[in-house]
Amino acid sequence: MPLLIDGHNLIGHSPDLSLSDPNDEAKLIARLRRYVARTDRQVTVVFDTNPTGRASSRSSMLRPGTRQTTSFARSSAKPKIARA
């Protein structure tokens, strides 16, 4: 079963990640890629405007067996979907 994750919510609940870190989203995606590789599950993570007010709206799809780079386009408009 695929997972849908609210990225900023998960970052805010992770003791070793911080919403104030400008690389927090990239770190979470790297962690989720390792999870996908271990579990063979598909994960979609969505980042909207985070609580610090930093504009960011995008979603990334992480699929087992693929190693494409995720696009980190930031926008306050509509999210972009990137497959990784």
pLDDT band at 84 (very low <50, low <70, confident <90, very high): very low
Q: Which two tokens stand for residue 65?
A: 């067996």
pLDDT in tens, 10-37: 999 999 999 999 999 899 999 998 998 8
Which among 58, 52, 48 has a CA at the least distance from the CA of 20? 52
Q: What is the CA radius of gyration of the chain?
A: 12
Domain extent at residue 45: 3-83
pLDDT at 40: 85
pLDDT in tens, 62-76: 667 665 544 444 444
Structural domain count, the chain: 1
Tell me, yes or no, if the pTM score tops 0.75.
no
Q: Is the pLDDT of residue 59 over 80?
A: no
pLDDT at 51: 57
